[in-house]
Amino acid sequence: MKMVEAIVKPFKLDEVKEALTKAGVQGMTVEEVKGFGRQKGHTELYRGAEYSVDFLPKVKIQILVPDDKAAKLVEVITDSAKTGKIGDGKIFVTPVEEVIRIRTGEKGEDAI
Amino acid sequence: MKRKIFGYVFAFMAMLLWASLSDRVSFAADESKEGVPAAEAPKAEAPSAVPAAPAAAAPAPKLPPYFTATSPDPKTPAPWPDPTGSASGVWATPAGDGKGDVPDKLSMQDLYDRMAHNLYSINYVWALVAGFLVMFMQAGFMLVETGLCRAKNASHTAAMNLMIYPLGCLAFWVYGFAIGWGNWWNGPVAPGWYPSLGPGLSVLNEGWGWGAAVDAAGKATGAFTYGLIGLKGWFLTGAVGDTAVLVLFFFMMVFMDTTATIPTGAMAERWAWKNYCLFGLWIALPYCLYGNWVWGGGWLAQGGINWGLGHGAVDFAGSGVVHSMGGVIALAGAMVLGPRIGKFNAQGRPNAMPGHDVPMVALGTFILAFGWFGFNPGSTLAGTDLRISYVVVNTMLAGIVGALAAMVTLMMKGLKPDTTMMCNGMLAGLVAITAPCAFVDPWAAAVIGLVAGWLVVVSVFFWEARGIDDPVGAISVHGVNGLWGVISVGIFATGQYGAGWNGVVRDGMVKLYGSDGVRGLLYGDFSQFIMQVIDAGTVAVFGFVMAFVWFKVSDLITPIRVSKEIEIEGLDGPEMGVLGYPDFQLHPSASGASAAIDVASAAASAPLGVQVRKVVTD
C-alpha cells in the first residue's frame, strides 16, 4: 500500500477530487496547509506598508492506495492539478506498513 | 453651544404658531385677545432672522412660566427642577368622558400651553433618539477596532470597546456631567434665547471661573468672564432632577463615550487591562473640562464676547470636543505605550500587521456612518430646528467624498484601494464635517470631506514614518481630521445659520448681512477663523498634555503595557481569560516562544498568526 500526499493549489481541489473519484478512489483526507517552495512566497501591501507572505495557502490531499494503482493515480493528480505556472505543488508517495479499519478491525488492502 | 440657535428657531417657531393660532382663533372669538400684537411682531421681523429680540420689545407679550427660569410670580418658587415634565406646558388629551380637553372650552392660553408641551416633546424625542444612534456607534467602534487587530487580540479589543461604555458612563455620572455642564445655564446666549428642552436646564447654574459677573445689586449672577468649570450635578442628585437635564445628560454622555473609545483603537494589542480600566474612569476629566469650555459656556465659547473673535469657538457636534480630544489622547497613549512588537524593523521601517477581519471593519464603518445621523443632526437638541436637513445632507456628503478621496489618493500613489483605508476615509470625512455640519453649504461639505479623505491617508503614513504605531488609524481619523473639522468652520461657514451664537450679535454684521450668523473667512469673517485655530490649538495641546501626564502617572500605579510574552501570545488568554476564536487553532509567531525576541523575525512571521482550519471532506 502507498500513501499519496498531494499539495496543490486550493482552487484546484475540486478538479482533483473529481478526477480521483472518477478513477475509483473511495476516500480521501484534505487539509488546509501553508508553505513555500522555490517560489518563496511574495509581498503584499496593507495600509501602505509592505509585508511578505512567506507561507502561501495550499491544500494537502491524502489518499491511500494499493501498490499497483499508485502510479496511475499520481498521473491523475498531476493532470488535474496542473496549471503550468509556478506553485502548482508536489506529490509524495510513501510506503504504508499497515492499515486498519476501526469499525470492523479489517486490515491491509481490505481496509482501504 | 448649540443652544443659542435652536433657541432662536424654537422661539421663532413658537411665535409663528402663536401667530397663526391667534389669527385663526380671532375669527371665531372676539378680537380683544392680546395675542394679536404679538402675532404681528414676528411677521414683521421675520426676515431679520432675529425673531426673539423684537418679540421682547413688543408691547408686553407676557411669556408663560415654562419659558422662564424664574417664577413670574415672586411669591411662588420657580417650578425647576421638574422631575416629571409637568411644568413644561400642559400635557392633556382630548376627552371622551368629559374629564380631558373639550376644544370649545379652551382659551388661547390653553391651546398655547398644549402646543408648547408638544414642541418640547418633539425636541426631547429627537435628542433622545439621536442619542440612541450615537450610543449604537459603540458597536461600530468595536467592529472597526477589533477587525483591524490580529485574531489573537480580538477578545481583548472587543472587551475594551465594550467596557469603555460602562466605565466612561459611570465617571460621567459621578463627576463628568457636573464639571462639564454644571454651569450650562450661565453660558453666553443671545438676547431672547430659549432652551429647546425647556428652562428646567436653568438648574445647571453653578460653576467657577475668572471674573465673576454681578448684577445691578452687586449679587453674583453665576456667570464668569472666563468660565472654567461647572460644579453642579454630581451623581445627578435631586438638585438637578429635571427631565430636561436628564435629556442633556444622556445626550452628552453618549458623546463622551465616543471620545473614550477612540484611544482603545490606537493603543490596542498591547494595553494592559487594569491600566485601561483606570483610564476609563479618568477620561471624563479632560473631556468634560474641554467640553465645558466649548459647549458648557466656558472661556472658548466666550471668545466672541471677550475678544471679539467671531462667535467664539464654534463646534457644532464635536469635531474638536469629541474627536480631536479622543485623537490626541490616542496619540499620547500610542507614544507612551510604544509600538507593537514587530511593527518596525531594525531600520525603523514599518511592517504591516494586517487586521484579521476586514468585513468586520466595513460593517463597523457602516454602523458608525449610520450613527453619525444621530451624532450631527441630533446636536441641534431640537427636532423643531429645521436646519437638521442641512446637517444630515452635509454629513452624508462629507462621508462619501471622504471615502472616495481616500481611494483616489491611494490609487494616485500607485497603491491598491485598501479596504481598511477607504473605511478610514469615510470616517475621516464624517469626523471633519462634525463641527461645521450646520454652518456650511453642501458643496463645502464635499470639499471638507475631500480634504479629509486625502488627509487621513497622508496622516496614516506620516505617523507611521515617525514610529507611532496606531493599529486602526484613530489618530489620523479622529485627531487630525477633528482639528481640520474645527478649522474648516472658520473657512466655510456661510453666515446663514447661527445668528447670535454664543451670545455674539455684532451690529456691523447685522447691518452688512442682515443677521450675524457664524461666518468663515470665505464669507467675510476672518476673526472666526482665528478663533477656530485657537480652539484647535487648545484641544491639541490641552488634550495631549493631560493624557501624556496621565498615562505616565497611571503607569506607576499599574503598568500600562503587557509583558512581551503576553503580547506575543496574544492578549486574549492571559488578559481576558477568553479567546476571541477558541475553535480555531492559532499559530502565534514561531519566534514568540523564545525569550530572546528577534524583532525582525517576529514581524516576518506576523502574517502567520492566522487560523489554520482542518477541513475533512468525505
pLDDT average, residue stretch B40-46: 34
**Beta partners for residue A35, in sequence order:** A56
β-strand pairing of A2-8 with A89-95: antiparallel
- Residue B347 at interface with chain A, using a CB cutoff of 8 Å: no
Domain containing A99 — which CATH number?
3.30.70.120
Q: Are B418 and A52 a contacting pair at CB < 8 A? A: no
B190 backbone dihedrals φ, ψ, rounded to 5°: -75, 155
Sequence-ordered list of residues with C-beta below 8 angstroms from that of A1, at least 6 positions apart, any chain? A64, A65, A66, A67, A95, A96, A99, A108, A109, A112
The model's pLDDT over B97-142, given as tens digits with 9 standing for 90+, comes to 666 788 888 898 889 999 999 999 999 999 999 999 999 999 999 9
B415 touches chain A (CB under 8 A): yes
The verdict on whether omega for the bond into residue B81 sits within 30 degrees of 0, i.e. cis, is yes
- Structural domain including A21 reads 2-111
Q: Which of A26, A47, A51, A55 to mutate to test the interface with B (most CBs of B within 10 A)?
A: A47
d(C-alpha B440, C-alpha B30), whole Å: 46
Question: Does B589 have pLDDT greater than 70?
Answer: no
Stated pTM of the model:
0.83
Closest CB to A50 among B352, B416, B421 = B352
Smallest CA-to-CA distance from B364 within B157, B135, B137 is with: B137
pLDDT at residue number B72:
66
Check CB contact of B476 with chain A, cutoff 8 Å.
Answer: no
Please write the tens of the pLDDT for every residue from B333-379.
Answer: 999 999 999 999 888 889 899 999 999 999 999 999 999 999 999 99
Mean pLDDT of the residues in chain B? 86
* CA contacts within 13 A on the Cβ side of B180: 29
CA angle B75, B63, B26 (to 5 degrees): 130
Contact B421 A54 (CB under 8 A): no
Residue of A nearest to B413 (CA): A48
Rounded CA separation A96/B379 (Å): 73
Read off the DSSP letter of residue B300. Answer: T
Cβ of A48 and B353 within 8 Å?
Answer: no
All domains in chain B, ordered by first residue: 3-119 (no CATH), 120-304+312-342+357-557 (1.10.3430.10), 587-618 (no CATH)
- Interface ipTM > 0.90: no
What are residue A42's DSSP bridge partners?
A53
Which residue, among B331, B180, B177, B168, has the nearest Cα to B259 in the 3D structure?
Answer: B168
Do the chains contact at A50 and B461, CB–CB below 8 Å? Answer: no
Give the number of domains in chain A. 1
Instruction: Select the more confidently predicted residue: B94 or B255.
Output: B255
